[in-house]
Copies of this chain bind each other. A is one copy, B any other.
């Protein structure tokens, strides 16, 4: 620990009191309620970020099952651009969460919950892409941005997108 050298060279510290706010000796910080609201927004974004990965897996597996008839770890990994080991670990988590099931060397399948989630995720993905396209975003960029945006679009916002697209 190079914790030495902690001599506070008496700077013009108190020269920046920034004492805005009300008449009271209250702290300059903004009201608790506002900070709490902001914290809630960030917590919300963190939560969405946490489920984003599983959503993408479920969406992709559903697609593979529909288009190819089966969803193999290697294909999943290739489509996501990760190693097969990474895909297998995520698949284990999907199973733990009750979204998928599989037996060794037999490919992956979705549970009822998994299929329901996949449908929801796909609808959201498409709607986000459609909205971006409608705003003039080039197709490849729309697809790319949508891959991240989709996980942060609430039901309310989704409805707004639908309204705008006239649906």
Contact = CB atoms under 8 A, between A and B. Distances in A.
Contacts of A8: 67
Interface string A133-158: 00111101111110111011110110
Contact of A28 (B69, B154, B160): B69
A49 B16 contact: no
B42 A80 contact: yes
Interface residues of A, number: 62
A22 interface: no
A41 B140 CA distance: 9
Interface string A25-61: 0001110000101111111110011001000100000
A151 B147 CA distance: 12
B156 A41 contact: no
A166 interface: no
Nearest to A63: B10
Contacts of A75: 29
A143 B137 CA distance: 22
A157 B142 contact: yes
Contacts of A9: 67
12 contacts: A18-B70, A28-B69, A35-B78, A39-B79, A39-B80, A42-B79, A42-B147, A45-B52, A49-B52, A132-B160, A135-B157, A135-B160
Nearest to A155: B141
Contacts of A145: 152-154, 157
